[in-house]
Amino acid sequence: MHDIEHINRISKQQFNNPLLDRDRVVLLNKAPYEDRMDEIIVDGEVIASIRYEIGKLEWVLLPRLEAGRRILAGKETLTGYVTIEEDVKKFLHKGANLLAPGVLDADPGIQKEDEVIIITPAGEVVATGRARMDGREMMEAKKGTAVKPRWKADTPSKVHDRKPSCWSDVIRANQSIMDESIAEAHTFIQKTVEKEDLPISVSYSGGKDSLAVVQLVDDCVRDYEIMFADTGLEFPETLDNIRHVGELYSKEVKSISVGDAFWESIDAFGPPAVEMRWCCKICKLGPLSRLIKENYEKGCLTFVGQRKYESTTRARSNRVWKIPGWATRPQPHRYKTGLPCTSGSTYS
């Protein structure tokens, strides 16, 4: 519910109307970006993205066509709109930019680099994109690019035909795909365990991906343990979840805490970044290495949950890998469906 409220708050700031209904399932899929970005999935379709733009120091909603239609169907007067000549639509569909002479009307409050929704006089959403002029300039300029469209299509809107959705609908629609993915994961786990004569564990962070892996491993293996690295930055709810999952699966949770290691290192290394993720080594890999050496004399086989959609590195990584000085490690299986993967890793 918090995510829906957050997205609707941003949508209202930009377009004066909320994007999401409360009577349907909404999924967020983390996407690569220089800071935080998530795809917004509704009714099985990616309808928009939301990301934190460092240059603006604010969250921005990037609507696609369906998101534009849902926003336009709101009760309040639309802002962030650009109305075009009907004849201009065909040029946008062919990939052209929206030029200023094709603009009939525009929200005067639009600023350059704002996200906008392009509509016809009849109220049809034909494109969305980023403004290259402010709203007043669009209506007055005789030449120049008014909007750089990001999404454009000529498919009719079905927004009013959609029925409320629930998790039962999601499971029913994806049941066959999930069954195939689960069966494949079970086969991978069983074969990996047979190849590696090592104690078995699951790296659990308290997140959804690693929780899915705990369940998959539990389906196949009786004798395993759960490992957790407390980075010193965990929410109390995360620590409660770790304890609860251990109790739920009747498994010992081997944990280690780094205390204030993050705060003691940030002055030397600076804030973590995509190209400088020193925090993983200090707060996760280092502590896990110590945890393994203290509990597994000859190393262990660990299953890890990762998704290929989270980064290019993860998408290209092997399914099983070994960490020098630790032992072997089966890499997560990456499903095309985006289901959390099973990874096997061996440490020594």
Whether 102 and 88 have beta carbons less than 8 Å apart is answered as yes
Long-range contacts of 233-240 (CB under 8 A, 24+ apart): 233/262, 233/283, 234/206, 238/205, 238/206, 239/206
Q: What is the largest CA-CA distance in the chain?
A: 75
The residue out of 105, 129, 161 marking a domain boundary is: 161
Q: Which domain holds residue 107?
A: 2-161
Task: Name the 3-class secondary structure at 36.
Answer: coil
Hunting for tokens 């597994």 — which residue is that? 296
Output the pTM of the full model.
0.69
The residue out of 161, 187, 218 marking a domain boundary is: 161
Residue 111's domain is classified under what CATH number? 2.30.130.10
**Is there a domain that residue 198 lies in?**
yes
**Inter-CA distances, 271 with 117, 250, 279, Å:** 36, 38, 9
| Domain co-membership, 101 together with 201 | no
**What are the pLDDT tens digits along the chain (348 aa)?**
789 999 999 999 999 999 998 888 899 988 888 889 999 998 888 999 999 999 889 999 999 999 999 999 998 999 999 999 999 999 998 889 999 999 999 999 999 999 999 999 999 999 999 999 999 999 999 999 999 999 886 555 555 556 777 888 889 988 999 999 999 999 999 999 999 888 999 999 998 899 999 999 999 999 999 999 888 888 999 999 999 999 999 998 998 888 888 888 888 888 887 667 788 778 777 888 888 888 888 888 999 887 776 667 777 777 887 765 554 444 433 332 233 334 444 443
| Domain co-membership, 59 together with 109 | yes
- The domain total for the chain is 2
